[in-house]
């Protein structure tokens, strides 16, 4: 084999190795993304099955039910178009309440219920998560401008 052919083989192997490493890095990155969906998108089946994602909306008045001897909580999220039942087992944020904008991270179960592994609530009265505010504004549920909810 000539020196030129040896160099070409080495260059080819380097390119192949970099390509394989890039493929694995991008596929791992894709699996770790948490996309945001509104309750309407979840109701229309746009949310991934079996993969975690974020859902945001307002907690519907009168839907928060707490199990008496556990940390299990059931509530419903809405964006003004559709509602999604949510189950969470854990300690809710102190600012969690009905009528408030929240974002929950979790998966859909076989019964069509969202099983949240984490619930995030707004941190004060002048803030709403940007995704939730945009969704509510788009659906006509937010009567003020988005800037009123930013700090």
Answer positive or negative: Cα dihedral of 16, 22, 25, 29: negative
User: Distance (Å, rounded) from C-alpha 52 to C-alpha 118?
Assistant: 11
pLDDT tens, position by position, 96-144: 888 888 899 999 988 889 999 999 986 655 556 676 677 777 766 665 5
CA-based Rg of the chain, rounded to a whole angstrom? 22
Residue for token pair 């609530």: 121
- The CA–CA distances, whole Å, from 31 to 52, 70, 92, 113 equal 9, 32, 27, 22
Give the start-to-end residue ranges of the domains of the chain: 1-32, 36-149
User: Distance (Å, rounded) from C-alpha 124 to C-alpha 128?
Assistant: 8
151 pLDDT more than 80? no
Q: Do residues 53 and 45 make contact, with C-beta atoms less than 8 angstroms apart?
A: no
H helices of the chain, in order, are 3-31, 39-43, 130-138
| pTM score, whole prediction | 0.67
CATH superfamily of 36-149: Nucleic acid-binding proteins (2.40.50.140)
pLDDT tens, position by position, 28-84: 887 777 888 989 999 898 888 888 899 988 899 999 999 888 899 999 999 888 999
User: Distance (Å, rounded) from C-alpha 47 to C-alpha 40?
Assistant: 10
1 pLDDT more than 50? yes
Within 8 A by CB and 6+ apart from 88, the residues are 72, 73, 75, 104, 106, 115, 116, 119
């Amino acid at each position: 084999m000539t020196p030129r052919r040896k160099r070409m083989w080495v260059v080819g192997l380097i390119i192949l190795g970099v390509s394989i490493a890039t493929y694995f890095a991008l596929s791992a990155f894709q699996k770790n993304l948490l996309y945001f969906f509104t309750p309407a998108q979840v109701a229309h089946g746009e949310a991934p099955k079996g993969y975690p994602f974020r859902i945001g909306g307002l907690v519907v008045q009168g839907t928060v039910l707490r199990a008496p001897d556990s940390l299990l909580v059931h509530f419903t999220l809405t964006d003004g178009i559709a509602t999604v039942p949510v189950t969470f087992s854990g300690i809710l944020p102190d600012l969690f309440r009905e009528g408030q904008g929240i974002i929950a991270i979790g998966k859909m179960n076989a019964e069509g219920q969202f099983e949240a592994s984490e619930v995030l609530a707004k941190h004060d009265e002048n803030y709403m998560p940007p995704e939730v505010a945009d969704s509510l504004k788009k659906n006509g549920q937010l009567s003020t401008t988005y800037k009123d909810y930013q700090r």
